[in-house]
Amino acid sequence: MEVFLQQLINGITLGSIYGLIAIGYTMVFGIIGMVNFAHGDVFMLSAFVALITFLIITSALAALGIVASSVWIIIALLLCLVAAMVITSLWNWAIERIAYRPLRGSFRLAPLISAIGMSIFLSNFVQVTQGPRNKATPPMLTENITLINSPVYNVNLSYKQIAIVLVTVVLLAAFWYLVQKTPLGRAQRACEQDRKMAALLGVDVDRTISLTFVMGAALAAVAGTMYLLYYGVVSFSDGFTPGVKAFTAAVLGGIGSLPGAVLGGLLIGLIETFWSAYFTIDYKDVAAFSILVVVLIFMPQGILGKPEVEKV
């Protein structure tokens, strides 16, 4: 029971991060029908931006002779979050502008290949500029709340986990509002259904697509910052595995569906942590992907996906 509860907490935390990344995949797929393979690397990039911002802030504090108390750490983290969101959004905007938009209207595989190229470029760029080794943050927010104090197994809820889930929930709510209630979100949903028709009603489709990339990147940056906070290390190759997992989450939840992406993320996170806890940690990725295979056999459109409708 204690183990179960602890893994549930861990799984939800991990799943939140996957869900945030998965939204970027699912939105881009929904609107232009392309799998943005560079999205995982955009996530990795954002973790680096957050790390650099954090180190700048802490050294600035040290230079000013301020002792970094936990209040300062929280302020620093919020600043990291904002910096990561802004800079990563600009990156992703530029990527779309340079690597995808000129290929729109070309054959279907062209932007896909371009995305793979971008993914390789980004991870190599970070490797060259930041070095190939793991980069670590000083430990922060290390306090725990002990939920169950048992002689066998303590169930802990760390401040980090609370922060991660809290930030995720708040941003998802804001994001949901943006998509459902604002003109921009309406335009995005319209472009998703019929891009040409949206253009004929005066919607600037190119700009809407750009903004979709910006939004996806902002959420990936939240995930990147949370990832850095959770694990404390990041390396240039860290975009790949979480990226593939998040893509899996998007497919599992039904690609194109926003609630599906979050649900898929949570499921993948939970499957992974429970498998590691009860079976073997070596095969956790195999478990996550096997579930994907099984779900797709019985529900080819994913859990919340809409069945494919033939367009006339």
Partner 1 sequence: MSESMTPRWESDPILKVEHLTMRFGGLVAVNDLSFSAGRGDITALIGPNGAGKTTVFNCITGFYKPTEGRMALIHPRLDIDAEIEAATESGAPYIERPSVFLLERLPDFRVSAEAKVARTFQNIRLFQGMTVLENLLVAQHNALMKASGYSVRGILGFKSYGRAEVGAMEQAKYWLDKTGLTDRADDPAGDLPYGAQRRLEIARAMCTKPVLLCLDEPAAGLNPRESLELNTLLNGIREVEKTSILLIEHDMSVVMEISDHVVVLDYGTKISDGAPSFVKNDPHVIAAYLGVEDEEVDSAEAEVGL
Query: Which member of 189, 231, 277, 291 binds partner 1 (CB under 8 A)?
Result: 189
Using the minimum distance from each CB to partner 1, give the nearer residue, 13 or 212: 212
CA distance linking residue 56 with residue 84, whole number of Å: 13
Using the minimum distance from each CB to partner 1, give the nearer residue, 70 or 180: 180
Cα 133 versus chain centre, distance:
22
Q: Does 146 bind partner 1 (CB under 8 A)?
A: no
Q: Does 185 bind partner 1 (CB under 8 A)?
A: yes
CA distance linking residue 217 with residue 209, whole number of Å: 12
Using the minimum distance from each CB to partner 1, give the nearer residue, 148 or 170: 170
Measured CA to CA in angstroms, residue 248 lies from 38, 135, 269 at distances of 15, 27, 11
> Residues in contact with partner 1, total (CB under 8 A)?
26
| Alpha-helix runs per DSSP H in 104-239 | 109-130, 159-181, 183-193, 195-200, 205-231
CA distance linking residue 244 with residue 221, whole number of Å: 16
Residues 16/168, Cβ–Cβ less than 8 Å: yes
The least distance separating partner 1 from the CB of residue 215, rounded to whole angstroms, comes to: 10
Applying CB under 8 A, the span of 74-82, 196-204, 224-232, 283-291 interacting with partner 1 comes to 196-204
Q: Does 204 bind partner 1 (CB under 8 A)?
A: yes
Applying CB under 8 A, the span of 121-129, 162-170, 198-206, 231-239 interacting with partner 1 comes to 198-206
| 280, amino acid identity | T
Q: Does 63 bind partner 1 (CB under 8 A)?
A: no
The least distance separating partner 1 from the CB of residue 213, rounded to whole angstroms, comes to: 15
| 15, amino acid identity | G
Among 4, 42, 1, 21, CA closest to 266: 21
Neighbouring-strand partners of residue 148: 155
Length of the chain: 312
Using the minimum distance from each CB to partner 1, give the nearer residue, 293 or 309: 309
Helix (H) or strand (E) holding 55: helix 39-63
Q: Does 170 bind partner 1 (CB under 8 A)?
A: no
Encoded one letter per residue, x for contact with partner 1 by CB under 8 A and - for no contact, window 207-246 reads ----x-----------------------------------
Residues 131/145, Cβ–Cβ less than 8 Å: no
Query: Which member of 61, 103, 205, 291 binds partner 1 (CB under 8 A)?
Result: 205
The least distance separating partner 1 from the CB of residue 209, rounded to whole angstroms, comes to: 12
Footprint on this chain of partner 1 (rule: CB under 8 A): 174, 177-178, 182-187, 189-190, 193-194, 196-205, 211, 306, 312
